[in-house]
Each structure stands twice: as C-alpha cells, then as structure tokens.
Structure 1
Amino acid sequence: MATSTLKHPDGNSIIVDKAFAQHDAYEHALHQFVPNVVIVPADDKHPDGNFVEDTHVAVGRVVVATLPGHELRRGEVPPMAEAVRKVVGEKGWYYNMADAGEAYLDGGDVLFTGVHLLIGLSDRTNPAGAAFLERAVKDHYPSLSVVTVDLRAQPRLHLKCVVTALSHTVLLFSDDQPGRFAYAQLPESVRSAYEIVWVPEQVASNVLAFPDGKGGLLGVVAQGGFPTSEKIVDEVVATRFGKDVPVVKLDMPEFIKADGSLTCSSLLFNC
C-alpha cells in the first residue's frame, strides 16, 4: 500500500467520496477562468499526487520539473512532466532538477507575483533547490527580482500555506504567527511594493487568482467555510478590482485534512 506524507491530525478521517465531489467542484471552478484544463489521471501508487503544484514551477515561459523534498513524492514528477510537456510544447524552456544532485524544491514554496519571484526555504525546499530555480529563471529573465524567504524556523509546510498573490500589487497573508513570521522575512523593499491584506484563518490566505492581462482580474477562487476571511477577500476584490469580479467559494475540508490548499491541486501556465 502506498503511504501518504500528510501530517494533518485529521488525515486518517478523509472521506473519499466527499473528496471526489470537492475535486469535481474545483475542476468546475477552473473551467470558469481557464480556457484549457488538462486532467491528469490518478495514480494509486502516489496518494499525494493530487497536489500537482509541487511537481513543477512555471515562471513566464520557464518551466522547471522539481525534485520534491519528500522522497515518497518524487515518483509523481515523471507522469506530470509528460502532461506538462504536451501543454507547453515548444512555447517554453524546460528544466529538470532530477540531475541536479541534492537540490530539492516543492512548487508550494514558490510564489511568482509578476513582480517578484519568492522562494521559501522549508523542510521540502533547500537552498540548492532555490538556487537551481533562480538560475533557470534568470537564464531567460535576468532582470527579475528573486527573493529567498527562509521559513525553516517555523512549522508550516510551504510558503503558500501563509501567503498568496491576489494580483501583482496585492498579497494575502494569514494573520497568525507563521504568516507574520513569513512577512517579517521579506525585505522592506519587497513589502513596500505591495498592499498587504491579512486574513485570520491560515487556510483562507491561499487563493487562486486569475489575471486578465491588463492589471485586473477575471476572477478569484477562495476557500469557503471561513466567513470572516471570506468577507475580507470579497471586500478587497470588489474595492480594488471591481464589484463584477467573481469570487468563487469552494468548501474543501477533505483536502484541508490532507494538508492541501487551493493552489496545490493545479498548475497554471501562460501559453
């Protein structure tokens, strides 16, 4: 039997049928904002394989196949690489970390805001992995600002467990000790480049935002079930981007039990 790497205290109480229904709702939400959604078949050998974000990082036209920090997850990368290559084709530059020795990286530790590339150091991403990604990206975007955020002194799994980008000008942080810690690790020059929005529930700080290519938003997918945070996200989106911008709420409790956030289950590419 395959073993999951999850550490959530409710991990053994996941209700599979509910998880499938929640994943179907997630897929439906993506179809509202993404013209081409590719579904990769499940693999029973890799129970964490739903969290495809950790297997690849895309920054502009640069795509990096990662070497996940937990060895049980490394078998997830080859089938995802096959699917990613079909999507990216000849439109991008593809790098593979598998030949980079002790360089480990999870995609959940990488946040590209459009202005900065933030790379979290964690139990799953080491300095060599961060350096590999920085070199790959700067081969093609030498002027991009890359910032390494050392999170190893606090217990959260990934950088995007506590911060995501609503746009290239707005960052959404969890208003708790891990979120405040991550915020404090950012240089002042980076913090001052954004409007910072704080939400009280950590899982609600992870959103999927879909830019319209003109500085606005096509829409946002946010975690449901957290009314205070939902209200904050609704108000920020309406005020900054327009009342007509939809905010889709998804209740994903079975994925939360599996240490999963909204960004975990998809890879977004500009092709």
Structure 2
Amino acid sequence: MFNNVIVRVPSKSISEGITSAHEGKPIYEVALVQHENYVSALTKCGVEVTVLEPKEEFPDSCFVEDVALCTSKCAIITRPGAESRREEAQLEDMHQALSKFYENIEKIEEPGTIEAGDIMMVGDHYYIGLSERTNQEGANQMISILEKYGLSGETVSLDEMLHLKTGLAYLENNNLLVAGEFKNKEAFDKFNKVEVELNEAYGANCIWVNDKVIVPEGYPNVQSKIENLGYEVLTVDTSEFRKIDGGLSCLSLRF
C-alpha cells in the first residue's frame, strides 16, 4: 500500500521539454488542468499528496519519477541520463520533501546514470532497464544500494522503448501489463502477462495505487483488460505530457 505521493506542478516552460514524439508542443494551460486532475485521482486512492512548486528552468521537472527511487527502506537520488535533467535531481525542495519521509537518503554517483522511469518495483525486487538514459554503472550502483537495505534488483536490456516503464506496469497480484518488446522478455515469464496492442501501447503506462489503477484516458482496450482483472479503474487525460514522452507513472513518486 502507498501512503504518500510527491508531484511537481508543470512549469510554463513545459513546451521546451525533451521529446521524441511528433505530436506538437504541450499547451501549458491544458497540461496544468490535466495535472490537477491527476492529483485528484491520486487523492481518491487514499494517499497524501505533496505538491512541489514548478521550476521554470527545468521544462521536464514535472516528471518527478525520474529523479528519485522511493523504496520501503530508503530514497535514492538518481543521476539522470538526460544531461539537461541532471540538476533536477539536486533540487533542494525535492530533497526537503524526501527527508520528511526518509531517514536514509542515498545517491547515484558519476559515471553512473539512471532514471527511475527505468525501474519497476515488484515487492522488494526491482527490475532495472538498461536504456539510453540508464547505464550499467548506474544500475550496478542502484542494485548495490538496494542490497544494502535487504532489497534486490536485476537488469533488463531495452532495444526499443525509452524507459522500462514505457511498456510495463506492475498491477500487483502477479499481474503485469506488457507492450512491445517486453511481451517476450524471459525476465517476465513468471507473471500473468496482460498484453497491450501496439495501437494502445502508450496506455500500458498505468499506475496501481492501493487497489485502484489509474489509466490514461483514450485507451479503451487497456481499460477493459484491467477492469476484467477486477480492479477499479480511474482515467486521467495525459495527452499533453505524451507530447514530451511522459506518462502517468512519470508524474509522481509513490511510496
């Protein structure tokens, strides 16, 4: 169960965020409303939400998931692979927010790079995607820190997706949403895999929060498959964040 969530309000500079999508620039005013609806959905899941102020100098800073991993034992400050996001991981208000909840705060050091969008938690075990943003050194450091606290981790190679959680979502109870290259990854064979079609691949980035599942709006097949597993589904429009390669999980730290 999750008790707390940290989010950051999008900045007006969001239109300058890093993107590989070809869907135009996000509209700030619309992104702001979508973010408010996202926070509202989280609140319905029974968590306390800490809302951090926008940071104009960091267009991608609403994607707080990438700058820290929050575990049951410690928080780990990452070192993002995207150079323009490195300083985000050092923002004082994020460190202050984490220190309210964690006595133990660790951090990844150079030359390691890792973004927590590449990390999927399954109980006390963490799957770490090796991607353009997360290198082997970063993964090794992360696994070493996890093991220090009695947790564990393993790496999974990525060939197509930006982040591990771009195409995966663990919904607890052994249920795993899988899209694209992850459908046949041996590492996930033990799960009850729920396959997401290519045309709804973006919808695979859902988040389980206390027996409810928040699903991006506009992906009816994904929504139906999750409802058929017995979960209550909440939908949130994240279309503006999709324009800069962001999804539901990217927008919060949940612990």
- Aligned match of 1:214: none
1:145 Cα offset (Å): 4.3
Return 5+ residue gaps in structure 2 as ranges: 1-12
Per-residue Cα deviation, 1:80-100 (whole angstroms, up to 9, x for no partner): 2222222x243xx21012xx2
How do 1:1-271 and structure 2 match up within 5 A? 3-12=16-25, 14-79=26-91, 80-86=94-100, 88-90=101-103, 93-97=104-108, 100-114=109-123, 116-141=125-150, 144-151=151-158, 153-154=159-160, 156-174=161-179, 176=180, 178-180=181-183, 183-184=184-185, 186-187=186-187, 190-192=188-190, 194-200=191-197, 201-211=200-210, 217=211, 219-236=212-229, 238=230, 245-269=231-255
**For the residues of structure 2 that align with 1:66 and 1:34, how far apart are their CA atoms?**
27
- Alpha carbons of 1:89 and 1:58: their partners in 2 closer, same or farther (altered >3 Å)? closer
- Structure 1: segments with no counterpart, 5+ residues: 212-216, 239-244
Q: Say which SS state the counterpart of residue 173 (structure 1) adopts.
A: strand
Aligned to 2:48, what secondary structure does the other structure show? coil
- Partner letter of residue 254 of structure 2? L
CA distance in structure 1 between the aligned counterparts of 2:201 and 2:53, rounded to whole angstroms: 30
Deviations 1:136-188 (A, max 9, x none): 010011xx44220011x32x2100000010104111111x3x333xx42x33x
| 1:5-42 deviations in Å (ceiling 9; x for gaps) | 22211142x22211111111001011111431100100
More displaced 10-residue stretch of structure 1: 33-42 or 76-85: 76-85
Distance 1:23 1:112, change over 3 A: same
Q: Distance in 2 between matches of 1:75 and 1:145?
A: 27
Paired residue secondary structure (1:146): strand
Residue deviations 1:231-254 (CA, integer Å, cap 9, x gap): 111112x2xxxxxx5210112111
Bigger mean CA deviation after superposition, 15-24 or 44-53: 15-24
Q: Is the 8 A contact 1:113 1:168 kept in 2?
A: no
Cα distance in 2, alignment partners of residues 75 and 101 from structure 1: 13
User: Under a length normalisation based on structure 2, what TM-score does the superposition of the two structures give?
Assistant: 0.88
Q: Which structure has the greater CA radius of gyration?
A: 1
Q: How many Å separate the matches in 1 of 2:228 and 2:173?
A: 18
Structure 2 CA distance for aligned equivalents of residues 255 and 164 of structure 1: 18
Q: Is the 8 A contact 1:220 1:247 kept in 2?
A: yes
8 Å contact kept, 1:53–1:265: yes
Shift of 1:65: 0.1
**Per-residue displacement from partner, 1:52-109 (whole Å, max 9, x unpaired)?**
00000122212100000011001211222222222x243xx21012xx2200000100
RMSD over equivalenced CA pairs, Å: 1.7
